[in-house]
Structure 1
Amino acid sequence: MPDSAKLTHLNDAGQPAMVDVGAKQPTRRVARARSRVVLGPEIMALMKEGDLPTRKGPVFQTAILAGIMGAKRTSELIPLCHPLGLDNCQVTIEVDGPDAVLIECTATVTGKTGVEMEALTGASVAALTIYDMCKALSHDILIQETRLVSKTGGKQDFHHAG
């Protein structure tokens, strides 16, 4: 890490503090995060027309709604996150091999701070919703590889090389 790298949510006394973004200029910021959920081939075999039907509703459609709702409420869940009025939030779910699905959450805002936490929260909540709705079928479901894929706007852009 460079010498200039430091934790941003600590004040000079080392105490927790919200980052002051008052002097920043608003810019368009986009962040994309991804989670992978390994359901297993047995659960994947139950999929019909690209989704898993349940009494609670289609699993993936419900997870998409939950992911968007989670992204919108990130500041209520993660201490010191600024509340953001998202311009857009999209959650997609696609099959990833014979036993897993890939969730992607893209959050967009025109503001003074980034939306990485919103994208990560959206992907995570969607993954947890899939787990919750499928756990009656198996407790061997694995949520893995939740990560930031890219972000633009702000001080520097980021794109995961993988």
Structure 2
Amino acid sequence: MLTHINEKGYAKMVDISEKDDTKRVAIATSTITMSEEVLDKIKQGQIKKGDVLSVAQVAGIMGAKNTSLNIPMCHQINLVGCDLDFEMDYETSSIKIYATCKSLGKTGVEMEALTACSIAALTIYDMCKAIDKKMVISNTHLIEKTGGKSGEFKF
């Protein structure tokens, strides 16, 4: 039986009221590839819209907090932590984004971590598109998750 379909065949939000609260952690990643010029300007703080990675950090956290507003079947959850990390890779002219989300609750935080990475990447694109419209956001995926009935997952 499909968990997100009701008896009439319509979409529904899964009832998690009987599940136990557990500590849950999810780590996700995304990559944004850009021109060397953009990567250098980000590093040197020369993007006219401001400090790109600081803004992307806040945007990613806001994205994680608002995941249920954008993904219809996601439950509202109480995040107890959200952090992002950025790694500049000069060999591939890209920035790798990592998001770690934590909660104490009845459902996982995978979608929040994935959303955090996606929103951070989109923010970098938005802040740098005047210089490079060919930036590519790719390789967004879950790296690992812990907690809950399904246990641990590692990519």
Report the alpha carbon displacement of residue 97 of structure 1 after superposing the two structures with TM: 3.4
**Cα separation, 1, equivalents of 2:98 and 2:37:** 23
1:44 aligns with 2:30: no
Aligned to 2:10: 15
**Cα separation, 2, equivalents of 1:32 and 1:47:** 24
1:131 aligns with 2:125: yes
Report the alpha carbon displacement of residue 13 of structure 1 after superposing the two structures with TM: 3.2
Residues 79-128 of structure 1 show CA distances to partners (whole Å, capped at 9, x for unaligned) of: 02111110000011111233000001111000000001100100000000
Residue number among 99, 107, 111 corresponding to 1:105 in the alignment: 99
In structure 2, the CA distance between the partners of 1:10 and 1:53, relative to structure 1 (3 Å rule), is farther
Gaps of 5+ in 2: none
* 2:59 aligned partner, one-letter code: A
Runs of 4 or more, structure 1, over 4 Å off, are none
Is the 2:42–2:52 contact (alpha carbons within 8 Å) kept by the matching residues of 1? no
Aligned to 1:79: 72
In structure 2, the CA distance between the partners of 1:84 and 1:53, relative to structure 1 (3 Å rule), is farther
TM-score, normalisation: structure 1 = 0.89
**Cα separation, 2, equivalents of 1:7 and 1:97:** 44
Question: Which range is displaced more, 138-147 or 38-47?
Answer: 38-47
Q: Secondary structure at the match of 1:80?
A: coil
Residue number among 128, 153, 159 corresponding to 2:147 in the alignment: 153
Is the 1:92–1:104 contact (alpha carbons within 8 Å) kept by the matching residues of 2? yes
TM-score, normalisation: structure 2 = 0.93
Report the alpha carbon displacement of residue 43 of structure 1 after superposing the two structures with TM: 1.4
Aligned to 2:25: 30
Is the 1:87–1:108 contact (alpha carbons within 8 Å) kept by the matching residues of 2? yes
In structure 2, the CA distance between the partners of 1:7 and 1:95, relative to structure 1 (3 Å rule), is farther
Q: CA RMSD in A?
A: 1.4
Gaps of 5+ in 1: 1-5
**Cα separation, 2, equivalents of 1:9 and 1:96:** 39
Q: Secondary structure at the match of 1:45?
A: helix
**Cα separation, 2, equivalents of 1:57 and 1:19:** 41
Residues 140-159 of structure 1 show CA distances to partners (whole Å, capped at 9, x for unaligned) of: 10000011111111122110
Question: Which range is displaced more, 111-120 or 150-159?
Answer: 150-159
Aligned to 2:62: 69
**Cα separation, 2, equivalents of 1:107 and 1:48:** 26
Q: What is the number of residues matched between the two proteins?
A: 153
Is the 2:41–2:47 contact (alpha carbons within 8 Å) kept by the matching residues of 1? no
Residues 22-60 of structure 1 show CA distances to partners (whole Å, capped at 9, x for unaligned) of: 0000000001110000012221222435xx433332001
